[in-house]
Structure 1
């Protein structure tokens, strides 16, 4: 089973040859003198009308057998090299964003969020580049590791940790998740305090594969959550099929919900369905007192957002004081 987390990195010679191979079998061999020169050549090739059908290879000797990759893969690896280097070797940490019980204001848990020492490398930029360069498994696994380590140092037993994961980074759940399960044991984290959350950084096409991932987490004593309910793949049908322990409402339905009857209807329907399926609902992206009050009034159990608390390097404790 090929896993990009276990695959060797693309070798980028500081000087050499860029070989472009088209769908018609025509090939161009372009010498380059530096990585900057290589990036310029790739930028120029990226303007070609047939770019989607191109293959590319990098080599120091065009006379030797060459391993081709898709052009887009080589392009992203080179032009985004600084970000790729950060993904492979960057100084990351795991921040905590509080999640509270809506009725009492008491801390229920924290979402673990990956952060880099340089703010310019935002989580979106990092994960977007990771997906384009086939490194999502590397970054996703790193985020899980840091979340478990940070939790072991700062969060007491009984308080939950929501840890994100990208389904496409897990090819074979029984194999790919063993490292995570070993980390949980190594750092003496209670499995029942961990909630692994599917994030929609990409389209989910294989629901059965996703179900096998969720079942693997559950078989190891952990709980699971679906993110972005109401957006993309998170539909009523998927909710019924997967029956996660938690579901997060997409923030687009939270924003200004107290003034929008369509959003209110959607939120009430999700709450009713989740209650029937014994799923706990979490409203995320809560930014105002009015949004909070409406969600609380219809029985949404958990809340998260800047109104409650921003991500921070240390977990908030006790009862949250709202802005």
Structure 2
């Protein structure tokens, strides 16, 4: 069943096929945008789709000047369909030029598409894209040819997604096997006197690759089923580097909730792990990342209790960005609550952010925890955080994250 809308577009596609003798169909699967509709409503979804269609139209018309173009939707499947009616005799277009067009659409959606869906979808917009070419066959009804073109483009998109995941999976595996993880340490500072409390270990992939950004690295690892292995490797490299940090400073060590299954993160195994890197339990704060939700709070509470019995403290990351982090605070009663940078950014000019962070501070006071504000960039933000009673913070305002050996030994933020 054809689901292109409205019906007159089917007539236009059929007529274009008859005139040109062929068409290329580029199908963009926009399934991730369905989450926008469920969370923010139909108007937000429609605005996002219209923005993406306009972007696709711009790219196609620039890349195929003079060719007849029709941009529409396959609405029942949440997809954008771009038809290009180049003459059947245009061998150059249906060869390298068409492949380059698909490549450009992919690139522009990834780079510029984020603007079209902001603020509803903040991550890079990586959509599955498929391609099919249809030659006019007078023995087959045009509607059936269009249907076959859509099916072929969908299969091509699925095939490309499989190839992409396979490629990224192999890259992640190579990173893990080679240990090619770069760790930088960002100072966590007392906002009242600029004294350094400790350092958060920030892991990233190999420089100059698709996996340099930590979000991309961990997302690809999750797709490849290697999230646990990557997390363990990042902890190991962070601990190795921590021996070169200034003495008497706390290491904030990121870990996923699944780390509770690692024998090296429990009881005597954890104590021995720290001893191997000349660290005391009191030198370490385990920072629980929200990359992965906590599935079993009962089990996790037991692990947290055993960590505390050793003298290790617990922090909850990305607080204030959703229910999951607040639930973790209620269930675990951490020693530190890290306020996400989305709460901190421009807080000096946003009363709503101030109210939310003030509420978070009240929660922290009630359980005996300290708030750490992430992503501080300006003096105005720093002043407001001080006024709200937030004691600790981190961010570019205090300097970039550095190698362990490059950190200032004086104990003060630069």
TM-score over 0.5 for the pair = yes
Equivalent residue in structure 1 for 2:188, among 99, 109, 112: 99
CA contact (8 A) 1:166 1:200 kept: yes
CA deviation string 1:126-153 (max 9, x = no partner): 2111111111121111111111111112
Change (3 A) 1:248 1:234: farther
The answer for the alignment partner of 2:221 in structure 1 is 130
CA distance in 2: counterparts of 1:247 and 1:195, whole angstroms? 11
Partner of 1:87: 176
**1:20-66 per-position Cα deviation (integer Å, ceiling 9, x unaligned):** xxxxxxxxxxxxxxxxxxxxxxx9899449x7xxxxxxxxxxxxxxx
Instruction: Flag the 1:288–1:234 CA change in 2: closer, same or farther, 3 A.
Output: farther
For residue 396 of structure 2, give the secondary structure of its aligned residue in structure 1. coil
SS of 1:118's equivalent? coil
- Taking structure 1 as the reference length, the TM-score comes to 0.71
Listed as ranges, the matches of 1:130-209 within 5 Å are 130-156=221-247, 158-168=248-258, 170=259, 172=261, 177=266, 180-209=270-299
Q: Which moved more, 1:141-150 or 1:201-210?
A: 201-210
Residue 88 of structure 1 deviates from its aligned partner by 2.5
- Deviation larger for 179-188 or 277-286: 179-188
The answer on 1:262 being equivalent to 2:262 is no
Q: CA separation of 1:198/1:79 partners in 2, compared to 1, >3 Å: closer, same or farther? A: closer
Distance 1:182 1:257 in 2: 42
Partner of 1:286: 376
Cα offset, 1:103, TM superposition: 0.8
Gaps of 5+ in 1: 1-42, 52-71
Paired residue total? 260
- Give the Cα–Cα distance (whole angstroms) in 2 for the partners of residues 165 and 311 of structure 1: 18
SS in 2 for 1:241: helix
Counterpart Cα distance in 1 of 2:163 and 2:332: 36
Q: Say if 2:404 is the partner of 1:315.
A: no
Structure 2 length as normaliser, TM-score?
0.57
Structure 2 CA distance for aligned equivalents of residues 267 and 162 of structure 1: 21
Aligned to 1:272: 362
Structure 1: how far apart are the matches of 2:236 and 2:365?
33
Contact 1:100 1:302 in 2 (8 A): yes
Distance 1:76 1:262, change over 3 A: same
Q: State the Cα distance separating 1:242 from its structure 2 match.
A: 1.0
Q: Do the aligned partners of residues 78 and 171 (structure 1) sit closer, same or farther apart at CA in structure 2, a change above 3 Å counting?
A: farther
Aligned residues of 1:145 and 1:183 also touching (Cα < 8 A): no
Bigger relative contact order, structure 1 or 2 (CA pairs below 8 A, ≥6 apart): 1
Unpaired segments of 5 or more residues in structure 2? 1-128, 131-151
Q: In 2, Cα distance between the equivalents of 1:79 and 1:292?
A: 39
Corresponding residue SS for 1:98? strand
1:58-91 residue CA offsets vs partner (Å, 9 max, x unmatched): xxxxxxxxxxxxxx99973445422331232142
Higher mean displacement: 204-213 or 286-295: 204-213
